[in-house]
Amino acid sequence: MPDSARMGKSLSAPASFQIFPLGDAAIVVKFGDSIDLELHQRVRALEKHLEEHSLEGMMERVPAYATVTIYYDPAQRSFHDIEQELRKILVVLADAPEPDPRIVEVPVSYGGEFGPDLEFVARHNSLTTDEVIQIHSATDYLVYMIGFAPGFPYLGGMSQRIAAPRRDSPRLKIPVGSVGIAGTQTGVYPIETPGGWQLIGRTPIELFRPQENPPTRLRAGDIVRFRPITVEEFASLRVNSQ
Amino acid sequence: MSIRVIRPGLLTTIQDLGRYGLQQFGVIVSGAMDPLALRISNLLVGNAPSEAALEITLSGPALLFERDALIAITGGDLSAVFDGQSVPLWRPILVRQGCVLEFRSPRRGCRAYLSVAGGFDVPLVMNSHSTYLRAQLGGFNGRPLQAGDVVNFRSASESATQQLRKLSERLSERPFVATDWFAGLDLAEYADDPTIRVMSGGQYDWFNKESREALVSEPFRITKQSDRMGYRLTGPTLQIIQPRELISEAVTMGTVQVPPEGQPIILMADRPTTGGYAKIAQVATVDLPVLAQLKPGAQIRFLSISVEEAQELYRSREAMIRRLECGIAQMNL
C-alpha cells in the first residue's frame, strides 16, 4: 500500500490554489473545482504572466477551466524547484489586472442543410427556428478553454432556453465548421469528426489553420459572437477565406 | 534517394518526437510511441535524435530501396528480413539498391523504428514531422503509408557518409551489411510482463482504499481496445469513494485515467490534450518505451514511486543516452 507522501501527494497552499505534479514532467496549478468566471480570470492572469515571463525549462502550458498545466524538462528542473518558483509568482499574481478579452465574430448560416437539427432544437424548446437563431446569436460566449480537437472551444454562456439533449445515435462525420448544441453547451467543430451534438448551423471561416501560427483562430479567454448570415454570404465568405 | 512501399503493413506512419508547443490550441502531441527507440535509431545513422522515422506496428511493411542507403531498425523485433536474410537490430546497416525489406511476424515487442541517414523528406507541419491521423496532417500526406507510395530521404550527415563508405567495402554481392557492434537495446529495459513504475495521479485520493491497494497489488491486462491513443486495461475495478465530477484539465502521455465503469485507460502518444476522467496514476517517463512495446494480452503490474524518484530515473536515463550518443558517433567515424 503506497502512502500518499511516497506517491507524491497534493500540496495544500495558504492561498486558494493547489500545486501538484502531473507525473515527472508536468506540474498543475489548480484554482478550484468549478466552471466560473472568477477561476477563469485567475487562470488567465497566470497564463498572461507565463507568456510574458517564461520559466526556465518550461516547454509549454495548457490552460483549462480551473487549472494551468505546465510541461517542463525534468533534466533542467525538479518538481520541487519549479513548484517553489510558481508559489512566488502566484502570491504576487493576486493583484494582477485582468487581461482584456479579444472579441471574435463567427458568422453562421443557420438551418437548412448546414443545420439539420435546428428544427429539433426549436421544437424541443417550444420556440420557432428564428427564435433559436436569435437567442443563440444574441449572447457573448466566453472561450473557457480549447481541447477535444484542435481549436475546439469550450464555450460558456449559452441560454438554457435553447438547450437540447445529444442525438441518440452520433453522426459518423460532422462537417468542418458545424455549430452544435449538446445539453447547455454550444460549440464549433474545427475538423471533421464523429459526434452526437445537435447541429444548428455552419460557419464558413476556418477555425483550425495548421499553416498559420497560432494554428487556431480561437484562444482561451476570447469572447465569441455568432452572427447570422445567409447561404449566399456563407459561399462568398468561404471563397474569401481561402 | 527513396523507398517504395510494396505492402504498407498494419500501420506504418512517419513519426518524430512529437508536436510540442501547441497543446494549448488543442493540437495533440502524437510522435513515436517508443521515443527511446526512435532516438537511438536516428543516432545510429548519424541523424539528430528528433529526426522523423518510420513507426512500424506489429505486422510490418515491404519496402523497396531505390538507392543504397544507411539505415537502422530499433524497438520491437518484428522479424525484419532483406531478400530472405534476417536483419540484425540496433546497429547501422548498409542496404543495397533494389533490395526489399520485409517483416515476417512479431517476435518480441510491438513497434519497430526505421531511420534512414538524412531522414525522410516530408514537410514540417506545425513544427513536426509526426503524422496526426485524426486531422490528416503531417507525416506522409497525413496518413499511414500505402502501397505505391514513394518516400524520399534527405542527404546523409558527414558521419553517416563515413560509416556508409566503411560498410560499402564489405558489401560485395550481399543485399545488406551491418556493423558487428550494436547499441541501445539494454537501455530500453523491454520486458514481456513488466512492472510499470507510476506516481499518484491528481485524483488518487478520490479512490477507495481497496482500489488504491489493487492498483499496486493486482495485475492488469492490456485489451484489444488499445492503440496509439491509449491502452484500455482490464483488471480489478477501480472505484472512487463517492461520485464526483471532474472538470476537464490537461492530461499527458502515461496518464492512467479511470472512467466510471472502473477499468483504467493509459493515455499514449495520440491522446487528446485534455480529459475529464479521474486520474489515479501517472506512468514514469522512463517506462513509457516498455509500455509502447506491449501487445494486447500482455500483463502488467504497477509499482508506486515518488516524483523525485521518477525524475532521478529520468535524469540518469538521459545521461546514459548522451554517453551512447558519444559512443555511436565515435564508432561511426
Residues 6 or more apart whose Cβ sits within 8 Å of residue B171: B94, B96, B177
Cell numbers 514537410 label which residue?
Answer: B123
Q: Between chains, do A80 and B282 touch, taking CB under 8 Å as contact?
A: no
User: Which residues on chain A are in Cβ contact (under 8 Å) with B141?
Assistant: none
**Overall number of domains in chain B:** 2
Do B294 and B161 contact (CB within 8 A), yes or no? no
Q: How far apart are the first and last CA of chain A?
A: 58
Residue where a domain stops, chosen among B187, B222, B248: B187
Using CA atoms, how far residue B143 sits from A90, B15, B132, B134, B149, in Å, is 43, 11, 8, 9, 11
Chain A CB contacts of B282 under 8 Å are 21-24
A78 touches chain B (CB under 8 A): yes
Q: Which residues of B touch A71 (CB under 8 A)?
A: 20, 23, 252
CATH superfamily of A103-241: Cyclophilin-like (2.40.100.10)
Reported pTM? 0.93
Q: Are residues B80 and B38 in the same domain?
A: yes
- Give me the residues of chain B with pLDDT under 50, please: none
For residue B21, the SS3 value is coil
Q: What is the pLDDT of residue A14?
A: 39
CATH class held by domain A4-93: alpha beta
Q: What is the pLDDT of residue A99?
A: 64
Q: Is B139 helix (H, G, I), strand (E, B) or coil?
A: coil
Q: Which candidate from A20, A79, A152 shows the least CB-CB separation from B26?
A: A152
For residues B120 and B9, state if they share a domain.
yes
Cis preceding linkage at B259, omega within 30: no
Query: From the CB of residue A3, how many other CB atoms can be counted at a distance below 10 Å?
Result: 8
User: What is the nearest CA distance from A141 to chain B, expressed in angstroms?
Assistant: 18
Residues in chain B, how many? 333
Q: Which of B258, B263, B283 is nearest to B223 (CA)?
A: B263
Residues B72 and B178 in one domain: yes
Q: Which chain B residues are within 8 Å of A70, Cβ to Cβ?
A: none
Contact at CB, B282 and A22, closer than 8 angstroms: yes
Which cell numbers hold the place of B8? 504498407
Residue A80 near chain B (CB below 8 Å):
yes
Q: Are B298 and B192 in contact (CB under 8 A)?
A: yes
User: Of B187, B219, B247, at which residue does a domain stop?
Assistant: B187
Note the Cα B258 to chain centre separation in Å.
Answer: 24
Angle, CA B207 vertex, CA B205 and CA B211 arms, to 5°? 125
pLDDT in the model for residue B31: 98
- Amino acid residing at A158: M
Q: Which residue of B has its CA nearest to A36?
A: B247
For B311, the closest of A2, A67, A79 (CB atoms) is A79
Q: Three-state SS for B324?
A: helix
Residues of chain A with pLDDT under 70: 1-15, 94-99, 241-242
Is the Cβ–Cβ distance between A9 and B200 less than 8 Å?
yes
CB B300 within 8 A of CB B194: yes
Question: Do B277 and B239 share a structural domain?
Answer: yes
| Residue A65 DSSP code | S
**Whether A38 contacts A156, CB under 8 Å:** no
Please determine whether the domains at A4-93 and A103-241 fall in the same fold group of CATH. no
- Same domain? B218 vs B258: yes
* A9 close to B (CB below 8 A): yes
- Pair (B36, B143) in one structural domain: yes
Chain B residues in contact with A147 (beta carbon < 8 A): 26, 248, 272-274
Residue B327 resides in a domain: no
Q: Which chain A residues touch B272 with a CB distance below 8 Å? A: 147-149
A71–B285 C-beta distance less than 8 A: no
Interface test with A, best of B215, B273, B304, B312 (most A CBs within 10 A): B273
What gap in Å lies between CA B277 and CA B279, rounded to an integer? 6
Same domain, yes or no: B201 and B267: yes
Residues whose CB falls within 8 Å of the CB of residue B112, separated by 6 or more in sequence, listed in order: B37, B55, B56, B60, B73, B74, B75, B76, B77, B78, B80, B89, B103
Would you list the domain boundaries of chain A?
A: 4-93, 103-241
Say if B330 falls within a structural domain.
no
Are B250 and A69 an interchain contact pair (Cβ–Cβ within 8 Å)?
yes
Long-range contacts of B295-299 (CB under 8 A, 24+ apart): B295/B58, B295/B106, B295/B109, B295/B110, B295/B222, B296/B222, B296/B223, B296/B224, B296/B226, B297/B221, B297/B222, B298/B192, B298/B193, B298/B221, B298/B222, B299/B193, B299/B219, B299/B220, B299/B221, B299/B222
pLDDT at A196: 87
User: Which of B27, B200, B216 faces A150 most closely, judged by CB atoms?
Assistant: B27
- Cell 551491418, residue located: B178
- A22·B255 Cβ contact <8 A: yes
Same-domain status, B232 and B140: no
B187, B210, B230 — which closes off a domain? Answer: B187
Q: How far is A19 from chain B (nearest CA, A)?
A: 10
> What digits encode the pLDDT tens for the residues B29-82?
999 999 999 999 999 999 999 999 999 999 999 999 999 999 999 999 999 999
pLDDT in tens, B293-317: 999 999 999 999 999 999 999 999 9
Question: Range of B165's domain?
Answer: 2-187
Which amino acid, one-letter code, is at B94? L
Are residues B23 and A35, on separate chains, in Cβ contact within 8 Å? no
A40 touches chain B (CB under 8 A): no
Cβ distance B249 to A66 less than 8 Å, yes or no, reads yes
CA distance A232 to chain B (A): 28
